[in-house]
Amino acid sequence: MNFPLRPQGRRNRVFPPSPPTLHSLASVITGVVVVCGLYFGRAVLIPITLSVLLSFLLAPLVTTLRRFHLPQFLAILVAVLSTVLALAGVGALIAAQVYQLSASLPQYQEEIEQKVQTVQEKTVGRADSLMSRAATALQRVTPTPPPAPPQPRGRAARNQPQQPMPVEIHTPAPTPLTLAQKALAPAIAPLETTFIVLVVTIFILFQREDLRDRLISVFGSDDLHRTTTAINDASQRLSRYFVAQVGVNVTVGGVIALGLAGIGVPGALLFGAVAALMRFVPYIGIWIAAIMATIVAAATQPQWTMGVTTLIFFIVVDVVAGQFAEPMVYGKRSGLSPLAVVVAAIFWSWLWGPVGLVLSTPLTLCIVTLGRYVDRLNFLTILLGDQPALTPAQTCYQRLLADDPHEALLQADRLLTGMPLIDYYEQVVFEGLRFARNDALRGVLPGEQVARINQALLDIVEDLESVDDSRHAAPEEESARKAAAEGADEGAKVIEFTLSPDAGEVLCVPGRGAFDDVAVAIVGQLLMRRNIPCTATTYDEVRATRGAMIDERSPAICVVSLDAPESAPYLRNLVRRLRERAPDATIVVGIGAALRDDGAGIADDPGTLFPTSLRNLVEECGAALVPAHTRLPEKRAATPDMQDQYRAGAKL
């Protein structure tokens, strides 16, 4: 059905956004200062950050030990010592496996060189052969260069500049003390950092409550509830994330070690430990361990079977861990979008190097959690979080603005898997139409764009005509019975109307808004799906003096307009004219007109109804076609007995 579009009035002036204020400039300067402080203060901030995150990891263990009535000092000491022993055990295991592999390194080196040579012959060698042939062919067509000038002799040769004498600088042989310093220097810095981290972690665990009180006093003593909620949410989220990540990584490392041992790869425990540690590096860590294990597997035997099997095994384990294990352990939402994880890894790697790469995900998760409670940081939650940036209604309207009805239809298909069609129309389409109506009233939507939006929506409504709502029937039935048992008016059961042939039909009348014709098409589709006969007209036909489609015997008239909540003057006049032409008809005014004291401003008679939802509108229209002696009172679904009585009357 094609609906005529309403002529657009004078376009209102749209003011440009406000210029940047001093507050915006101060926020940018603050952000630059914070980033510079993180970069230049990384030598101090990295140990403190590691200590804070380690305290989040050990906090659940300390709490568990305290439940067994252990003193606080002893619980913290046991937790820290357990961590140190675990790290020492992993280090000793890695060292032993490295020593074992180093003994067979010459044999592996020879096998790897042979495989590399074979690969070069098959790939680079053929490329070199092709390049040589091309160079030979090019030399044949290239002209011969002129001969080189003769070398000078005699006096000319004696006048040539003398070549400089080469000078070599020999450093003295290093002393044993120098060799010891060079050997221990790379290990001193990590040991020093580890010692500082452990000491700071112990103090943080000792003074957790005191530190929390100080943070509350500094950042939010005026709003204790909000600040306490933010701190508890951040600490619980990070603790849960760290514990889950450690558990998943250790499990993956153990599975990889057992699998590689079964395949026959030397150093299976080493690669299992490396895989468990490297999985803390997002996305690329596991593949570093996979490449190392694949190289050793390929060097173990002349064939490629073990190397290919090892690589496939890593792929299977990573897919299972990433797609099944982690969602089950972390939950459906970890708090960060995949793009945010990648961007955070790049940013923190630039700031703090490899340590920043490992800490990128937990640090970003902490910032996103903080942005949920600090208004000035809320943009970080929107940019980096995994929550949808737009509501379904905003997304639908945006797709229509972008002239992309295909995406809007795909969104409808996704949403209809979890909600009935009538709820999709009310919560998504009509909410999106309200955004469009506001833009049309502001004058920012030209007439041709309004026409495209209307046509796209009509196409979507037509495509959704065959949607099956049977899978949502049982939940609606149960919720309706509960609501009816509680005496609630909303949420009443949707009744399938079986009317007599002479019951008449509902006349759907649109308002004069830019999108009211689409609203009438939606209401008409819903009425037909409930076996309620209906027909549609236009605002111009109703406004005409002849009123061709309206007679005084019309049982029900449904006025559908997005202007109903504002009780526009033209709607009051429209309802008045309809009442004059059909004095006995039940007039239903929607969409969104609430039952309120000033509702009589549209129609000052009891025969005009103002349903509060799209579901109520459909029920009111169906009830208007039922004979008066079989109708229920205003609350038609008050009890199950009254519902049965109402159905019996509808089937007469």
Check pLDDT > 60 for residue 9: no
CA distances from 439 to 7, 124, 237, 397, 568 (A): 15, 62, 40, 11, 18
DSSP 269-310: HHHHHHHHHHTTSTTTHHHHHHHHHHHHHHHHSSSSHHHHHH
pLDDT digits (tens, 9 = 90+) for 571-587: 888 888 888 888 888 88
pLDDT for 603:
47
Calculate helix-pair angle for 105-122, 124-141, nearest 10 degrees. Answer: 40
Check pLDDT > 80 for residue 273: yes
Amino acid at residue number 458: L
Reported for 134-142, long-range contacts at CB under 8 A and 24+ positions apart, including other chains, are: none
Report for 187-191, 303-307, 463-467: range of highest mean pLDDT = 463-467
Q: Report the greatest alpha carbon distance in the chain.
A: 135
pLDDT digits (tens, 9 = 90+) for 251-265: 999 999 999 989 888
Contact 587, 545 (CB under 8 A): no
pLDDT digits (tens, 9 = 90+) for 31-75: 889 889 988 988 888 888 888 888 888 888 888 888 888 888 898
CA distances from 647 to 63, 574, 617, 629 (A): 60, 32, 17, 13
pTM score of the predicted model: 0.63
H or E stretch covering 363: helix 338-371
What's the sign of the alpha-carbon dihedral 170, 175, 176, 179? Answer: negative
Check pLDDT > 80 for residue 15: no
pLDDT for 635:
36
Contact 524, 621 (CB under 8 A): no
Q: Using only C-alpha atoms, what is the Rg of the chain?
A: 38
Residues 6+ apart with CB under 8 A from 574: 509, 511, 539, 542, 543, 559
* Rounded Cα distance, 252 and 272, in Å: 8
pLDDT for 466:
84
Tokens 């980096």 belong to which residue? 384
Which whole number is the average pLDDT over 71-88?
A: 88
| Lowest model confidence (mean pLDDT) among 17-31, 32-46, 352-366 | 17-31
Contact 621, 596 (CB under 8 A): no
Domains and CATH numbers, the chain: 43-117+190-209 (no CATH), 397-468 (no CATH), 498-625 (3.40.50.280)
**Averaged pLDDT of the chain:** 75
Task: Identify the burial level of 467 via C-beta atoms within 10 angstroms of its C-beta, where 0-12 means exposed, 13-18 middle and 19 or more buried.
Answer: middle
Contact 398, 390 (CB under 8 A): yes
Check pLDDT > 60 for residue 598: no
Mapped onto helix, strand or coil, the DSSP state of residue 534 is strand
* Rounded Cα distance, 211 and 60, in Å: 17
Between 106 and 197, where is the model more confident?
Answer: 197
Confidence class for position 88, pLDDT limits 50, 70, 90: confident
pLDDT for 256:
92
